[in-house]
């Protein structure tokens, strides 16, 4: 008798939970929201395992959010026939991943590194935390964690409400308009459709965000300019320190090239007052050109290509989806025609 009551109670709880979650899922889909994956350490580790694919079957990307937004992995896969291995991290420096790949004697592949100067030349170490956390996880991942990742992926690929950054309870609570405590500055939360992500770890802004969310676009513009203002208050880094940093980058790229790997730097587009501030704070001849000269690596700077330099980053820092297709095509053409990279689909 008692067991029947427990069974009935359990059935009622399960039924109510199913109805509530199902209703929430239908509501989110009614609003036009789509599947977006959690940019977890597990997903990073899953991609990192692919760095050992044959050179003509994969290219590895690292850097900051511009690499994650601007290199369209679907276009890359379709045009090159390769697996795009996305190891970039938002708001982060590429240096930890570069050093990890340089130290890995088994990595002999093609590597693209994006240069967002404020993050690339961050010597404070703050922008190293996220990629280092991902690298540490990938090194120490347990079988149980890997199994959990596959279960989570199966669920994430089917339910919108599992979007941890936007629709989970914790995310909804973080978006409540609660004023910060006196003397404490809270970093604004990104608009929901500014930061969607697919299973390749390719971030994107939804067309709805770009075309209709003027408030959200303005919010992102203000965030970037706030960061510029904060950076402008910091004392300039002495040139000898910058030179020493670039020489260390050369040590890492030399290790990869000595094993037969290839390294190319990219400077993705930015626009408006952010691009002007970046030009002032990081003059091309003292930063971008010096990277290429010292390391001996080739590079593609967006401002050298009229079609790319005319692109408008709606929130100053990242390309809309239609422009990512053009930028990715241009990048592949540059790598194939000017650098001589071999791609599976192009060089058959």
The verdict on residue 175 lying in a domain is yes
What pLDDT does 175 receive?
66
CA within 13 Å, CB half, 189: 17
Domain count, the chain: 1
SS3 call for 149: helix
**C-alpha pair distances (Å), 38 with each of 73, 103, 152, 153, 341:** 17, 28, 10, 9, 32
DSSP state letters, 277-328: HHHHHS-GGGTHHHHHHHH--EEEEGGGSHHHHT---TTSSS--HHHHHHHH
Q: What is the largest CA-CA distance in the chain?
A: 82
The verdict on residue 266 lying in a domain is yes
Alpha-carbon gap, residue 318 to 323, rounded angstroms = 10
The verdict on residue 138 lying in a domain is yes
CA proximity to 314, closest of 88, 145, 69: 69
Work out the burial of residue 2: count CB atoms within 10 Å of its CB; fewer than 13 is exposed, 13-18 middle, 19 or more buried: exposed
Alpha-carbon gap, residue 308 to 327, rounded angstroms = 7
The verdict on residue 12 lying in a domain is no
The verdict on residue 64 lying in a domain is yes
Q: Which residue segment(s) compose the domain that 73 sits in?
A: 35-338
Residue 274 in tokens: 């952010």
| pTM attached to this predicted model | 0.90
- The DSSP output letter for 182 is T
Q: How many CB atoms lie within 10 A of CB 181?
A: 8
197-228: b (≥16 Cβ within 10 Å) or e: bbebbbbbbbeebbeebeebbebbbebbeebb
**pLDDT tens-place values along the chain, 348 residues long:** 556 777 777 778 788 877 877 787 787 787 777 888 999 999 999 999 999 999 889 999 999 999 999 999 999 999 999 999 999 999 999 999 999 999 999 999 999 999 999 999 998 889 999 999 999 999 999 999 999 988 988 888 888 877 877 777 666 666 666 666 665 555 667 888 898 999 999 999 999 999 989 999 999 999 999 888 888 788 888 889 999 999 999 999 999 999 999 999 999 999 999 999 999 999 999 999 999 999 999 999 999 999 999 999 999 999 999 999 999 999 999 999 999 998 877 765
Residue 8 in tokens: 């009935």
Alpha-carbon gap, residue 111 to 86, rounded angstroms = 10
Residue 318 in tokens: 């990242």
* Phi, psi (degrees; rounded to nearest 5) at 264: -135, 140
SS3 call for 38: coil
Which residues in the chain belong to E strands, given as ranges? Answer: 58-62, 83-86, 110-114, 196-197, 203-204, 262-267, 298-301
The verdict on residue 2 lying in a domain is no
Alpha-carbon gap, residue 64 to 44, rounded angstroms = 14
The verdict on residue 24 lying in a domain is no
The verdict on residue 116 lying in a domain is yes
DSSP state letters, 127-173: GGHHHHHHHHHHHH--HHHHHHHHHHHHHHTT-GGG-TTTTSHHHHH
Q: How many CB atoms lie within 10 A of CB 330?
A: 15
Q: How many CB atoms lie within 10 A of CB 58?
A: 18
């Amino acid at each position: 008798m008692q067991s029947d009551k427990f069974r009935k109670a359990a059935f009622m709880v399960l039924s109510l939970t199913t109805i509530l979650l199902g209703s929430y899922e239908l509501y989110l889909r009614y609003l036009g929201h789509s599947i977006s994956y959690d940019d977890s350490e597990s997903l990073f580790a899953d991609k990192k395992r692919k760095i050992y694919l044959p050179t003509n079957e994969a290219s590895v990307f690292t850097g900051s959010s511009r690499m994650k937004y601007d290199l369209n992995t679907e276009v890359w896969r379709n045009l090159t026939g390769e697996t795009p291995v996305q190891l970039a991290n938002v708001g982060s420096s590429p240096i930890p991943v570069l050093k990890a790949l340089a130290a890995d004697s088994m990595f002999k592949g093609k590597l693209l590194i994006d240069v967002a100067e404020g993050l690339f030349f961050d010597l404070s170490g703050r922008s190293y935390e996220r990629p280092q956390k991902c690298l540490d996880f990938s090194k120490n991942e347990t079988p149980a964690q890997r199994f959990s990742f596959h279960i989570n992926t199966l669920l994430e690929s089917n339910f919108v409400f599992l979007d941890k950054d936007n629709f989970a309870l914790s995310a909804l609570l973080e978006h409540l308009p609660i004023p910060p405590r006196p003397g404490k500055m809270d970093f604004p939360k990104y608009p929901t459709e500014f930061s969607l992500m697919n299973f390749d770890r390719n971030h994107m802004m939804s067309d709805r965000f770009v075309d209709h969310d003027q408030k959200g676009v303005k919010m992102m513009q203000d965030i970037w300019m706030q960061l510029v203002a904060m950076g402008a208050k910091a004392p300039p880094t002495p040139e000898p320190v910058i030179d020493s940093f670039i020489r260390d980058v050369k040590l890492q790229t030399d290790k990869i090239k000595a094993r037969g790997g290839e390294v190319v730097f990219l400077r993705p587009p930015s626009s408006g007052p952010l691009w002007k501030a970046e030009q002032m704070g990081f003059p091309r001849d003292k930063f971008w050109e010096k990277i290429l000269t010292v390391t001996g690596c080739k590079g593609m700077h967006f401002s050298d290509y009229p079609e790319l330099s005319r692109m408008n980053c709606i929130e100053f820092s990242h390309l809309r989806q239609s422009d990512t297709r053009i930028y990715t095509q241009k990048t592949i053409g540059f790598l194939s025609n000017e650098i001589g990279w071999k791609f599976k689909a192009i060089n058959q």
